[in-house]
């Protein structure tokens, strides 16, 4: 029986009792109502306590902290403020230097226009200045002839899309890694010419005597289906059949010469006559002479000649090797090597 029913029962009993006075009845009713309100208040307070405990337990579960763990918790770490990544250069500067890019005219190699310093891709960059120059020159070679080279009909046997993947030096041998496009298309002559373009361009650098060609980072026995053998490092003399009629092996591009220079190379010229001269930056001839190759007029021969010169200060100059036409005396097969002349 609940409190209200009990109250009704007691009320009916009280009314039946004749001895109960009105004052007693009023006192009883007040006590009964107080008891009812008190029980309701206790029940409501218990409900709120249970809700609070449940909320506390849920919070503890969400945070991973036990209910009875009263240790102070660290403040939440604020989200880091996004920062803009620094700009990363995609290339590096290459100090100014001079070299000739070897292209193709007819069925022979041909010197292209002079190239000076510029920029090289950062992924191919090197602390070795020789490698750095080679990267720049070979990158330019792979881009093909432009400007004056195109005007005189120069082309490249190196397939379009060929990429330079890496350049490393092992003593006097330069390892040149090219992409697989280097092997695409062309016959035997085209294969020889494209390999020779790389060899002749790279061996301009002082200290580089030979070049090994790799494809996609791997050493290969031969290039293309025509089988141009590249298993061993190659030199300029390995490609005499596609070479120009005069090839200078020394001095090298940019070499510093003091008082004299020994000019060497190989040639296939009329009566083996080879003319040599030294010029200053203004084109004035400082010294001129001639020599003969060990063979000529239809065969390749070696030549070597030493020239002395005088300058009062260190300056730019050129060593030129050429022949003169037996018909009209005009200059032919000119090779011009930029050098530095010192007293």
Residue 308 in domain = yes
Asked whether the predicted pLDDT for residue 161 surpasses 70, the reply is yes
Give the pLDDT of residue 122: 78
Give the pLDDT of residue 38: 44
Give the pLDDT of residue 52: 45
Task: Count Cβ neighbours within 10 Å for each residue of 222-249 and write b for 16 or more, e otherwise.
Answer: ebbeeebebeebbbbebbeebbbbbbbb
Asked whether the predicted pLDDT for residue 155 surpasses 60, the reply is yes
Q: How many domains is the chain partitioned into structurally?
A: 3
Asked whether the predicted pLDDT for residue 154 surpasses 60, the reply is yes
Residue 76 in domain = no
Give the pLDDT of residue 41: 44
d(CA 228, CA 183): 10
DSSP, residue by residue, 238-271:
GGGGGS-SEEEEESPTT-EEESEEEEEEEE--GG
Looking at the structure, do residues 239 and 315 belong to the same domain, yes or no?
no
Residue 337 in domain = yes
Residue 80 in domain = no
pLDDT per position as a tens digit, 74-128:
555 555 544 444 444 577 777 777 778 899 998 999 887 777 777 777 778 777 8
Domain boundary among 201, 222, 244: 244
The candidate with the shortest Cα–Cα distance to 140, out of 58, 65, 198, 191, is 198
Strand order in the sheet with 210-215: 164-170, 173-178, 210-215, 218-219
Looking at the structure, do residues 113 and 135 belong to the same domain, yes or no?
yes
d(CA 190, CA 211): 18
Looking at the structure, do residues 37 and 126 belong to the same domain, yes or no?
no
Domain boundary among 63, 95, 115: 63
Looking at the structure, do residues 108 and 197 belong to the same domain, yes or no?
yes
Averaged pLDDT, 315-341: 93
Asked whether the predicted pLDDT for residue 68 surpasses 50, the reply is no
Looking at the structure, do residues 110 and 192 belong to the same domain, yes or no?
yes
Domain boundary among 218, 244, 270: 244
The strand pairing partners of 103, in sequence order, are 110
Give the pLDDT of residue 64: 44
Looking at the structure, do residues 54 and 187 belong to the same domain, yes or no?
no
d(CA 307, CA 273): 16
d(CA 15, CA 330): 152
Looking at the structure, do residues 169 and 304 belong to the same domain, yes or no?
no
Handedness of CA 64, 66, 71, 72 (dihedral sign): positive
Residue 25: both structure tokens together:
């009845």
Residue 230 in domain = yes
Asked whether the predicted pLDDT for residue 339 surpasses 60, the reply is yes
Asked whether the predicted pLDDT for residue 20 surpasses 50, the reply is no
Q: How confident is the model at residue 8 (pLDDT cuts 50, 70, 90)?
A: low
Give the pLDDT of residue 12: 56
Give the pLDDT of residue 72: 52
Looking at the structure, do residues 119 and 49 belong to the same domain, yes or no?
no
Q: Which residue has the higher pLDDT, 22 or 306?
A: 306
Q: How confident is the model at residue 206 (pLDDT cuts 50, 70, 90)?
A: confident
Residue 267 in domain = yes
Contacts of 184 (CB under 8 A, 6+ apart): 159
Averaged pLDDT, 228-237: 93
Looking at the structure, do residues 250 and 240 belong to the same domain, yes or no?
no
Return the minimum-mean-pLDDT range out of 93-97, 146-150, 270-274, 311-315: 93-97
d(CA 327, CA 181): 44
Expressed in angstroms, the distance from the first to the final Cα of the chain is: 129
**Looking at residue 271, which CATH number applies to its domain?**
2.60.40.2550
pTM, entire model: 0.68
Looking at the structure, do residues 216 and 321 belong to the same domain, yes or no?
no
Q: How many CA atoms lie within 13 A of 57 on its CB side?
A: 6
Residue 74 in domain = no
Helix (H) or strand (E) holding 190: helix 188-202
Helix (H) or strand (E) holding 275: strand 273-280
d(CA 211, CA 195): 10
Residue 302 in domain = yes
Looking at the structure, do residues 269 and 171 belong to the same domain, yes or no?
no
The candidate with the shortest Cα–Cα distance to 116, out of 143, 137, 134, is 137
Averaged pLDDT, 231-245: 94
Looking at the structure, do residues 278 and 181 belong to the same domain, yes or no?
no
Averaged pLDDT, 247-261: 92
Give the pLDDT of residue 4: 52
Asked whether the predicted pLDDT for residue 283 surpasses 90, the reply is yes
To the nearest 10 degrees (0 to 180), the angle between helices 129-143 and 188-202 is: 140
DSSP, residue by residue, 104-147:
EETTEEEEEEEE--EEEEGGG--S-HHHHHHHHHHHHHHH---T
Averaged pLDDT, 45-69: 43
* Helix, strand or coil, per DSSP, at residue 326: coil
Please provide residue 116's backbone torsions phi and psi, each rounded to the nearest 5 degrees. Answer: -115, -170
Strand order in the sheet with 260-267: 246-250, 260-267, 301-308
Rounded to the nearest angstrom, the gap between the alpha carbon of residue 6 and the centroid of all alpha carbons in its chain is 95
What's the domain range around 37?
Answer: 3-63
Asked whether the predicted pLDDT for residue 61 surpasses 60, the reply is no
């Amino acid at each position: 029986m609940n409190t209200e029913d009990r109250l009704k029962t007691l009320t009916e009993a009280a009314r039946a009792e004749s001895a109960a006075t009105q004052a007693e009845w009023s006192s009883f009713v007040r006590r009964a109502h107080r008891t009812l309100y008190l029980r309701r208040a206790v029940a409501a307070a218990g409900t709120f306590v249970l809700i609070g405990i449940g909320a506390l337990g849920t919070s503890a579960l969400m945070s991973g902290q036990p209910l009875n763990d009263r240790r102070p918790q660290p403040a939440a770490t604020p989200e880091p403020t996004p920062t803009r990544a620094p700009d990363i250069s995609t290339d590096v500067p290459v100090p100014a230097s001079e070299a000739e890019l070897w292209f193709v005219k007819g069925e022979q190699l041909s010197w292209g226009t002079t190239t000076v310093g510029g920029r090289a891709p950062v992924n191919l960059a090197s602390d070795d200045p020789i490698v750095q120059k080679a990267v720049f020159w070979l990158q330019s070679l792979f881009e093909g002839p432009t400007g004056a080279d195109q005007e005189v009909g120069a082309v490249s046997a190196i397939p379009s899309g060929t990429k330079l993947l890496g350049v490393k030096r092992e003593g006097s041998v330069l390892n040149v890694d090219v992409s697989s496009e280097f092997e695409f298309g062309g016959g035997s002559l085209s294969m020889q010419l494209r390999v020779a373009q790389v060899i002749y361009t790279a061996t301009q650098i002082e200290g580089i005597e030979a070049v090994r060609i790799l494809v996609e980072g791997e050493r290969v026995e031969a290039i293309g289906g025509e089988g141009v053998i590249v298993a061993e490092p190659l030199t300029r003399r390995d490609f005499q059949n596609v070479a120009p009629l005069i090839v200078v092996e020394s001095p090298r591009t940019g070499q510093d010469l003091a008082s004299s220079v020994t000019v060497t190379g190989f040639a296939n010229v009329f009566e083996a006559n080879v003319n040599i001269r030294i010029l200053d930056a203004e084109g004035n001839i400082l010294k001129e002479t001639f020599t003969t190759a060990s063979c000529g007029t239809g065969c390749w021969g070696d030549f070597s000649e030493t020239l002395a010169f005088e300058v009062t200060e260190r300056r730019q100059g050129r060593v030129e090797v050429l022949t003169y036409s037996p018909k009209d005396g005009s200059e032919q097969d000119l090779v011009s090597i930029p050098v530095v002349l010192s007293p």
